[in-house]
Amino acid sequence: MYATPEQTNPARDGLEAAADQAIEACGGDAREAVKALLVASEFLENEIAELKAAVSKGYSRGRHVAQRDHKE
């Protein structure tokens, strides 16, 4: 008998457990869990943008373009 990839991948087990935990935190509603995760993701993206703007270009050795220098 061969083990399936799902049975031998601890990262996948952790991901499954995290998904179950997020759904449980939202009362078992998967749609509400997805909405909560999208809000959390947007919050973290905004935090990253603020941190990038606060870090000098010299300190980051040019690895990112500061928000104030970026033209759209």
Residue pLDDT, tens place only, 27-36 = 999 999 999 9
Q: 8-40: string of b/e by CB count within 10 Å (b at 16+)? A: eeeeeeeeeeeeeebbeebeeeeeebeeeeeee
- Residues 9-20: tens digit of each pLDDT: 888 899 999 999
Distance from C-alpha of 25 to C-alpha of 30, rounded to nearest angstrom:
10
Task: Say if CB 30 and CB 23 are below 8 A apart.
Answer: yes
Domain-by-domain residue ranges, the chain? Answer: 1-72
Residue 1 — pLDDT band, cuts 50, 70, 90? very low
Average per-residue pLDDT for the chain: 82
Per-residue model confidence (pLDDT) at position 47: 96
Question: pTM, whole model, 2 decimals?
Answer: 0.62
Task: Say if CB 26 and CB 33 are below 8 A apart.
Answer: yes
